[in-house]
Structure 1
Amino acid sequence: MNTPEQISEQYFTAWEAGDFDTLSGLLADGVDFVGTLGRASGREECLRGLRGLGRIVEKIEVQARVANDTDVITWFNLHTIGAPPTPTANWSHVEDGQITRIRVTFDPRAILAQRDH
């Protein structure tokens, strides 16, 4: 079984590539997501949110990843269409090889300004 750190790396690689089949396998059925731009409960709702934001994601530039036996914090620059890179923190909790909780925080103003144009 992969470590939480490896699962987190696979999550970001798949999201950046738009590989939602791989993402689906990394998320637990009951995954709970809370982020700056919304909430999602369950795998399908979480995937819908990732697909939505994925339409404007150009690149995910991971700066650092810190992990223990169940939790991973990833600090990255989120590059989106028309906005400067957005520093972002993502905390993921992993149980039995799948992500069960995700919390994300960033300043959304530049992304929202581009969306409104």
Structure 2
Amino acid sequence: MRTPAETMTAYFDGWRRHDAESLREVLAEDVVFDGPMGHVEGIEDNVASLHGLLSIVTDVQVRHVFVDGPDVLTVYDLHTTATDAPMLTVNWAHVVDGRARTIRAVFDPRPLLGT
């Protein structure tokens, strides 16, 4: 079984490969995502949402990972085709039995909204 840090490393490795389907291996069936652009529940809807997101992601550069038991906080620069500059993003995941159960993302959505 993966540690929480290994789970989230695999998660972001899937992003870098633009492989949303591989994320099924690290997401819990009842995973819940919350972020500035929306709320998504369940593995099917999360994978579908990630397919959309990964279509504009060009790179993910992890700056730092903080681990506190089952909680993993990843600070990264998100590069996309929709923005000129990378977006500083913080992702807080709660991992149970090697799978992310909850994921919360924090970033300024204005560059994506054109404001």
TM-score range, shorter chain: over 0.9
List 4+ stretches of structure 1 deviating above 6 A: none
Looking at structure 1, the residues matched to 13 and 42 of structure 2 have their Cα atoms a distance apart, in angstroms, of: 21
The Cα shift of 1:68 comes to 2.2
Secondary structure of the residue aligned to 1:60 is: strand
Looking at structure 2, the residues matched to 11 and 17 of structure 1 have their Cα atoms a distance apart, in angstroms, of: 10
Query: Residues 7-59 of structure 1: CA distance to partner in whole angstroms, max 9, x if unpaired?
Result: 11110010221222320111000001101111100001111111111111000
Which blocks of at least 5 consecutive residues in structure 1 are unaligned? none
Q: 1:102 to 1:26 in 2, by over 3 A?
A: same
The Cα shift of 1:113 comes to 1.8
Checking the alignment, whether the CA contact within 8 Å between 1:61 and 1:77 is kept in structure 2 is yes
Checking the alignment, whether the CA contact within 8 Å between 1:58 and 1:79 is kept in structure 2 is yes
Secondary structure of the residue aligned to 1:93 is: strand
Looking at structure 2, the residues matched to 113 and 80 of structure 1 have their Cα atoms a distance apart, in angstroms, of: 13
Which blocks of at least 5 consecutive residues in structure 2 are unaligned? none
Query: What does 1:70-81 correspond to in 2, within 5 Å?
Result: 70-81=70-81
Looking at structure 2, the residues matched to 68 and 42 of structure 1 have their Cα atoms a distance apart, in angstroms, of: 24
Looking at structure 1, the residues matched to 51 and 19 of structure 2 have their Cα atoms a distance apart, in angstroms, of: 10
Question: 1:51 maps to which residue?
Answer: 51
The Cα shift of 1:82 comes to 4.2
Cα RMSD (Å) of the superposition?
1.3
Secondary structure of the residue aligned to 2:2 is: coil
Question: 2:113 maps to which residue?
Answer: 112
Question: 1:8 maps to which residue?
Answer: 8
Question: 2:92 maps to which residue?
Answer: 91
Q: Which amino acid is 2:43 matched to?
A: R
Checking the alignment, whether the CA contact within 8 Å between 1:4 and 1:68 is kept in structure 2 is no
The Cα shift of 1:60 comes to 0.4
TM-score, structure 1 length as denominator? Answer: 0.92
Q: Which amino acid is 1:94 matched to?
A: V
